[in-house]
């Protein structure tokens, strides 16, 4: 690849072609050596997300009934608090079991902790 730079033809000086050649060589090395991306944990389950999507569609259409929208909104709020509580309990359980934040991050991927760990007595 790099020996092509010494030849003065226009074809070899095309930046896009050189970039493609370079990327072909770098991708396999990146797959072997590169760090895998962490999976982001989902705090909300799929049913909550589908209800939120349904609520967005009702609002965007403008044809929503106030009672139906209010009931859906109330249900979504309850499900969100329940999902967040389950997620928080899972985080606390992992912290107590492993006694460290590093193990938690390794087990769950990227995670933002919104509470401070309580000191054990």
Residue 117 lies inside a defined structural domain of this protein: no
Encoding tokens for residue 40?
């982001």
**Residue 36: per-residue pLDDT:** 64
> At a CB cut-off of 8 Å and minimum separation 6, what does 107 contact?
94, 98
Encoding tokens for residue 43?
């705090």
pLDDT tens-digit series, residues 29-49: 777 776 666 666 788 999 999
Residue 52 lies inside a defined structural domain of this protein: yes
Closest CA to 83 of 53, 44, 40, 41: 44
Residue 22 lies inside a defined structural domain of this protein: yes
Instruction: Looking at the structure, tell me whether residues 50 and 93 fall in a common domain.
Output: yes
Instruction: Looking at the structure, tell me whether residues 98 and 56 fall in a common domain.
Output: yes
Tokens 């401070």 belong to 116
Tokens 């590169």 belong to 34
Closest CA to 30 of 22, 19, 38: 22
- Whether the per-residue pLDDT at 9 is higher than 50: the answer is yes
Instruction: Looking at the structure, tell me whether residues 22 and 57 fall in a common domain.
Output: no
Instruction: Looking at the structure, tell me whether residues 25 and 76 fall in a common domain.
Output: no
Domain span including residue 20: 2-33
- Number of domains, the chain: 2
Instruction: Looking at the structure, tell me whether residues 53 and 98 fall in a common domain.
Output: yes
Q: Say how far apart CA 85 and CA 43 lie, in whole Å.
A: 9
pLDDT tier, 114 (very low <50, low <70, confident <90, very high otherwise): very low
Instruction: Looking at the structure, tell me whether residues 27 and 57 fall in a common domain.
Output: no
Tokens 């979504």 belong to 76
- Whether the per-residue pLDDT at 70 is higher than 60: the answer is yes
Averaging pLDDT over each range in 16-20, 38-42, 59-63, 102-106, which range is the top one? 16-20
- Range name among 3-17, 31-45, 73-87, 98-112 with the lowest pLDDT average: 98-112
Residue 121 lies inside a defined structural domain of this protein: no
Instruction: Looking at the structure, tell me whether residues 97 and 51 fall in a common domain.
Output: yes
- Whether the per-residue pLDDT at 85 is higher than 90: the answer is yes
Residue 114 lies inside a defined structural domain of this protein: no
């Amino acid at each position: 690849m790099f020996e092509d730079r010494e030849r003065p033809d226009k074809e070899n000086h095309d930046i896009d072609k050189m970039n493609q050649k370079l990327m072909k060589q770098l991708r396999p090395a990146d797959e072997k050596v590169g760090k895998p991306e962490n999976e982001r944990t989902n705090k909300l389950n799929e049913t909550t997300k589908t209800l939120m999507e349904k609520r967005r569609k009702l609002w965007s259409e403008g044809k929503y009934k106030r009672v139906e929208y209010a009931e859906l909104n109330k249900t979504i709020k309850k499900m969100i608090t329940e999902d967040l509580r389950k997620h928080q309990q899972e985080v606390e359980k992992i912290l107590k079991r492993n006694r460290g934040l590093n193990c938690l991050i390794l087990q769950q991927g990227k995670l933002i902790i919104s509470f401070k760990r309580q000191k054990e007595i």
